[in-house]
Each structure stands twice: as structure tokens, then as C-alpha cells.
Amino acid sequence: MAGGRLTTHVLDTMAGKPARGMRLELHFVHGDHTHHLGDSYTNADGRVDQPLLADDQFQQGEFEIRFHVGQYFERIGVEVETPFLDVVPIRFTISEDKHYHVPLLVSPFAYSTYRGS
């Protein structure tokens, strides 16, 4: 699979801006366990500078991006009396040699995602 790539974008819906400096982990799913492929951080635009997967690394299969939202909100000084979200895992399947974009919209109490373009 030479033409596909995997990207992400995180928007902080509480602040109405990109989520700068959020840590995320990429995992390849093998049945009941995962294999850690790497860590990244979002830039000022809420994006990761390089695709999470591209070129020879891009492959079909089941993947999971773990977004460290609790750590992000703590770092930017959001005080939550009763913390709710910590690590948000988004598990998805890559089945085509195409661009897969997995955005995350997040606040301290809710999140949503979709297959972007």
C-alpha cells in the first residue's frame, strides 16, 4: 500500500480552538492486544506535523489512536471538580489504500470523531 496515509486533528471545543500539545499514541491491534507504533504531539494547529502512517508503514488492519485529553486539559489549566475523560481511544479499520483522517473534537466531558477527508 504505497499511496495511503493516516492523519489526525484535535479541536478543543471548550476553548473553540485547536488543541495544541496534546499527546497521542498510535497502536496496531492484534486480536486482544495492541502493538505500540509511536507517540506524537499536536502542533499549534491541533495537527501532527507528519502523517501517523505513510509510505511503507501504511498498511491495512485495525488501529487505535489514544488521545491523552485529561493530561491536555490539566496542562492548560482547566480545573475540573470531578474529572471525567482521561485517555480517549479511537479504534478504526484501514481497509483501503487511501487517506484516512481521524479528527477528534473534545471537551473535558465529551468527545466525538468521524472519518474526515
Domains in the chain, CATH or no CATH each: 5-113 (2.60.40.180)
Say what the pLDDT of residue 3 is: 79
Write out pLDDT tens, residues 75-92.
999 999 999 999 999 999
Say what the pLDDT of residue 75 is: 97
Write out pLDDT tens, residues 89-111.
999 999 999 999 999 999 999 99
Three-state secondary-structure class, residue 35: strand
Three-state secondary-structure class, residue 16: coil
Q: Provide the annotated binding site for substrate.
A: 9, 47, 114
User: CA dist 117 to 37, 46, 94, Å?
Assistant: 23, 16, 14
Q: Provide the annotated binding site.
A: 9, 47, 114
Cα separation of 63 and 51, whole Å?
Answer: 14
Write out pLDDT tens, residues 33-70.
999 999 999 999 999 999 999 998 999 999 999 999 99
Say what the pLDDT of residue 2 is: 57
